[in-house]
Chains A and B, each alone.
Chain A
Amino acid sequence: MDVCGVSNFNVFPCVNDPYLTQYLFVAVFVLVAVLFPLVPLALVRVLAPRKPSPTKNATYECGLVSKGDSWIQFRAGYYLYALVYVIFAVETIFLYPWAVAFGGLSFGAFVAMMVFVLLLVEGLVYAWAKGALDWK
Chain B
Amino acid sequence: MSVAYAPIVRALGSETALVLVALAVLTLDFIIGRKREVAKRRELVGAVALFGLALSAVPLVGQVGMTNVLLPGETLVVNPLVIIFKFVLIVLTAVTVLISIDHDIGTHVGEYFAMLLFGAIGMLLLVGTEEFLTIFVALELTSISLYVLTAFHKNSLRSQEAALKYFLFGAIATAFLLFGLSYIYGLTGATNLRDIGAALAKKGTDPLLGVGLLCVLVGLGFKVAMVPFHLWAPDAYEGAPTPVTAFIATGSKVASFFVLVKVLMVAFAGAVGSAYWGAFESGWAMVLGLTATASMVLGNCAAIVQRNVKRLLAYSSIAHAGYILVGLVAASSTGATAVLFYVIVYAITNLGAFGVVAALASRAGGDDLEHFNGMAKRAPFLSLLMLVFVLSLAGIPPLGGFFGKFYLFAAAVECDAEMFGLLWLVALGIVMSAVSLYYYLVLMKHMYVLPAKDETRIATPGHLKMALAFCAAGVVLLGVFPEPILALLKALVVRL
Contacts and interface: CB of A to CB of B under 8 A. Distances in A.
A108 B5 contact: yes
A126 B26 contact: yes
Interface string B446-460: 000000000000000
B76 to A, nearest CB: 14
A47 interface: no
A106 B23 contact: no
Contacts of B155: none
A126 B3 CA distance: 33
B30 A129 contact: yes
Contacts of B5: 108, 111-112
B2 A106 contact: yes
Contact of A122 (B1, B2, B3, B23): B23
Interface string B1-25: 1110100000000000001000100
A87 to B, nearest CB: 12
A105 to B, nearest CB: 9
A106 B26 contact: no
A109 B26 CA distance: 28
Contacts of B30: 126, 129-130
B35 to A, nearest CB: 16
A126 B2 CA distance: 34
Main secondary structure of the interface of A (DSSP, over half): helix
Contacts of B2: 106, 108
Contacts of B26: 126
Nearest to B5: A108
Interface in A88-136: 104, 106, 108-109, 111-112, 119, 122, 126, 129-130
A28 to B, nearest CB: 32
A118 to B, nearest CB: 10
Contacts of A112: 5
Nearest to B26: A126
A132 to B, nearest CB: 12
A122 B114 CA distance: 13
A126 B26 CA distance: 8
Contacts of B1: 104
A129 B27 CA distance: 10
A55 B30 CA distance: 57
A104 B2 CA distance: 10
Nearest to B30: A129
A130 B5 CA distance: 35
B360 to A, nearest CB: 34
Q: Max chain B CB contacts within 10 Å: which of A111, A119, A130?
A: A130
Nearest to A130: B30
B23 A108 contact: no
B20 to A, nearest CB: 10
A108 B19 CA distance: 20
Contacts of A122: 23
A130 B23 CA distance: 14
Contacts of A111: 5
Contacts of B19: 119
A42 to B, nearest CB: 40
A14 B119 CA distance: 50
Nearest to B108: A130
Interface string A77-88: 000000000000
A127 B30 CA distance: 11
Nearest to B22: A122
Contacts of A109: 3
A130 to B, nearest CB: 8
A112 B19 CA distance: 15
Nearest to A101: B1
Nearest to A122: B23
Nearest to A107: B5
Nearest to B3: A108
A93 to B, nearest CB: 15
B380 to A, nearest CB: 43
A104 B30 CA distance: 41
A90 B141 CA distance: 15
Interface of B: 1-3, 5, 19, 23, 26, 30
Given A109-B3, A130-B30, 13 more contacts: A104-B1, A106-B2, A106-B3, A108-B2, A108-B3, A108-B5, A111-B5, A112-B5, A119-B19, A122-B23, A126-B26, A126-B30, A129-B30
15 contacts: A104-B1, A106-B2, A106-B3, A108-B2, A108-B3, A108-B5, A109-B3, A111-B5, A112-B5, A119-B19, A122-B23, A126-B26, A126-B30, A129-B30, A130-B30
List of 9 A-B pairs having minimum Cβ-Cβ separation, nearest first = A108-B5, A106-B2, A122-B23, A129-B30, A126-B26, A108-B3, A112-B5, A106-B3, A119-B19
